[in-house]
Amino acid sequence: METLPLRKIRSFVRREGRMSRAQQQALEKLLPVYGITDLEHPLDFPHVFPFSGPCYLEIGFGMGSSLLEMAMQHPQNLYLGIEVHRPGIGSLLLRIEQMQVNNIRVINHDAVEVLEKIVPDRSLDGVYLFFPDPWHKRKHHKRRILQPSFVDMVHEKLKPGAIFHMATDWEDYAMHMMQVMSQAPGFVNSMPPGQFADRADRPPTKYEQRGERLGHAVHDLIFLRK
């Protein structure tokens, strides 16, 4: 009897929702300009960006508000954004075009596969993971993106001294993050052991604001690659 290959556990579910006409047009016209679609060859940063500089990667940027704000606050930096939610990508592309921001490039794909396939080792100055899906039911915890194997891969992609900044408004996930990161070889907490960080220059997101309205405390973790 033939054995079927195991299905890869994904940390996300594609929930497309309603896409506006403007978002659809942005995907068609602007993704070829500000997007990276070659997922077969290693990223060549001087080729995809108009200038060189420190490069930061945000995983799951949602509607892109925090990514856009960081890029505008730090025009000397380069920002890569990965997202699977197409309406969010469309919205960000529209604002990139409207604001004439030239230091953002977006990728519409699974972040794990992007890191595995095209992000060169020791190429990033920082990775941001803001408010990932908490998968709060215990039976779904295996779907959380923050797992030891994922942390090992992030470590490979960061330069020595680079940051891995995480944030969540779910208490249980915050404790899980702290446990995983505190045990991760090659990382050290920017704060004393076991302590959470302040938000630093992380812009607020709509998910954070929604969580605060529900009474959720926000936890930030900033770890450094040794």
Give me the active site residues, please.
Answer: 133
Beta sheet of 104-107, edge-to-edge order: 104-107, 78-82, 55-59, 124-130, 158-168, 219-225, 187-189
Gap between the Cα atoms of 10 and 65, Å rounded: 24
Q: Which of 76, 54, 52, 56 is nearest to 67 (CA)?
A: 56
Q: Which of 86, 88, 24 is nearest to 61 (CA)?
A: 88
Quick one: CA torsion of 48, 163, 213, 87, rounded to 10 degrees?
A: 20
